[in-house]
């Protein structure tokens, strides 16, 4: 990663960042090389710095906005695709605001000669479906960085599949293989922008028109969770703030991370609905491990997570599958804390 570019990004200096990328491009690097060797590593480091508590949400958002602008600028040098080339619609999933990965895929497709309709982050589902029906694209591609954005997507993906259009998905939220993608009804899962381009060369232009499946009990519980997601997350946050044995802990950690608590609880709830619709229990383990890292980096005792799982379970009365998933995660959390205590020197 280029040092001058990284420093400009840390400073939130849009002009200096652009100057550094101009220099990299003038040195002979292709657009793809600038993105893969500099912008992507920098964006990963930005995410790590937030996770480690070294950067605020505002700093992370500022750097991400600069990187998105740089990718748009690099894309302006691509030759326009021929009018007769296939059209691909690229979008984030509903409620997924991390648009940079989808933007990178869009630019890779343009560079490969495809026409692209890029919808960006957090599309409105009905508008997206209208766009699909109007454009009748070669394929629809979705990006998800957060696993917590998967819980409300199954019907959307299956509705597009029912039209006979290939649906390709990718991003960290889908994990390291195609199992979650398959569970949600996607045609294929891609591991990288290059993989996405390769899939378009091999997938049929139209697929079998599969009927939208009837919702399962797990789907229905996940839908209820998504409908009441804000209230459930609010219940967890309120419970944590009011718990006598955590009030001192929360007060002592007077960092700005407390304003992030609602977002962390929302992520927890979203991961639960994602685990239900995909049938992937590892999502809850991943959610625990991720949140434990966030709390540790902010100098907060991870026993807070056990209380969070308990509060979440309280809000799920009448939803046995969800409660079972939470109970499993709570058991994992308690065991992890016990193991950590056993490993500490006496």
Which of 55, 77, 99 is a domain's end point? 77
Residue 231 lies in a domain: yes
In terms of domains, do 246 and 280 share one?
Answer: yes
Residue 228 lies in a domain: yes
In terms of domains, do 89 and 208 share one?
Answer: yes
Per the DSSP assignment, residues forming a β-bridge with 141 are 90, 168
pLDDT of 267 reads 93
In terms of domains, do 89 and 194 share one?
Answer: yes
Residue 346 lies in a domain: no
Question: Is pLDDT at 257 greater than 80 in this prediction?
Answer: no
What is the C-alpha separation between 43 and 38, in angstroms, rounded?
Answer: 9
Residue 5 lies in a domain: yes
Residue 345 lies in a domain: no
In terms of domains, do 235 and 315 share one?
Answer: yes
Task: Dump pLDDT digits (tens) for 49-81.
Answer: 988 889 988 899 999 999 999 999 999 888 889
- Number of structural domains, the chain? 3
Residue 27 lies in a domain: yes
CATH number of residue 108's parent domain = 3.40.50.280
In terms of domains, do 335 and 285 share one?
Answer: yes
What is the C-alpha separation between 185 and 162, in angstroms, rounded?
Answer: 10
* Mean of pLDDT values over 225-229: 96
Of 153-167, 293-307, 331-345, minimum mean pLDDT range: 331-345
In terms of domains, do 179 and 97 share one?
Answer: yes
pLDDT of 266 reads 94
- Mean residue pLDDT across the chain: 89
What is the C-alpha separation between 37 and 87, in angstroms, rounded?
Answer: 28
- The model carries a pTM of 0.89
In terms of domains, do 161 and 64 share one?
Answer: no
Domain hosting residue 38, numbered range: 1-77
Which of 52, 77, 102 is a domain's end point? 77
Residue 303 lies in a domain: yes
Task: Dump pLDDT digits (tens) for 193-207.
Answer: 999 999 999 999 999
In terms of domains, do 63 and 21 share one?
Answer: yes
In terms of domains, do 239 and 125 share one?
Answer: no
pLDDT of 329 reads 76
| Structure token digits, residue 74 | 């690099």
In terms of domains, do 254 and 288 share one?
Answer: yes
CATH number of residue 322's parent domain = 1.10.490
In terms of domains, do 172 and 93 share one?
Answer: yes
Residue 21 lies in a domain: yes
pLDDT of 245 reads 59
In terms of domains, do 85 and 201 share one?
Answer: yes
Task: Dump pLDDT digits (tens) for 164-180.
Answer: 999 999 999 999 999 99
* Distance from the first to the final alpha carbon of the chain: 43
Which of 183, 213, 243 is a domain's end point? 213
């Amino acid at each position: 990663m280029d040092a001058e570019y990284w420093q400009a990004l840390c400073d939130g200096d849009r002009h200096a960042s652009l100057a550094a990328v101009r220099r990299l491009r003038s040195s002979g690097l292709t657009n793809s090389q600038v993105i893969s060797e500099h912008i992507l590593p920098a964006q990963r480091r930005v995410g790590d710095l937030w996770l480690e508590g070294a950067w605020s949400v505002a700093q992370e958002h500022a750097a991400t906005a600069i990187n998105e602008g740089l990718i748009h600028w690099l894309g302006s040098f691509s030759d326009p695709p021929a009018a007769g080339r296939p059209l691909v619609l690229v979008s984030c999933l509903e409620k997924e605001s991390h648009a940079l990965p989808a933007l990178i895929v869009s630019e890779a497709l343009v560079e490969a000669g495809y026409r692209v309709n890029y919808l960006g982050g957090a599309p409105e589902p009905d508008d997206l479906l209208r766009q699909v029906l109007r454009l009748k694209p070669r394929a629809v591609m979705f990006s998800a960085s957060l696993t917590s954005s998967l819980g409300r997507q199954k019907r959307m993906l299956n509705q597009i599949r029912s039209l006979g259009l290939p649906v390709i998905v990718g991003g960290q939220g889908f994990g390291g293989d195609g199992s979650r993608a398959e569970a949600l009804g996607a045609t294929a899962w891609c591991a990288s922008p290059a993989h996405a381009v390769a899939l378009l060369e091999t997938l049929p232009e139209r697929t079998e028109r599969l009927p939208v499946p009837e919702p399962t009990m797990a789907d229905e519980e996940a839908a209820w969770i998504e409908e009441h997601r804000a209230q459930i997350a609010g219940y967890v946050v309120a419970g944590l703030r009011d718990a006598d044995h955590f009030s001192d802990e929360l007060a002592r950690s007077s960092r700005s991370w407390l304003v992030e608590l609602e977002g962390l609880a929302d992520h927890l709830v979203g991961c639960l609905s994602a685990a239900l619709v995909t049938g992937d229990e590892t999502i809850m383990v991943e959610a625990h491990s991720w949140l434990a890292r966030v709390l540790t980096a902010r100098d907060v005792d991870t026993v807070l997570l056990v209380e969070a799982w308990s509060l979440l379970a309280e809000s799920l009365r009448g939803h046995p599958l969800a409660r079972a998933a939470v109970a499993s995660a709570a058991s994992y959390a308690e065991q992890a804390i016990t193991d950590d205590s056993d490993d500490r020197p006496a």
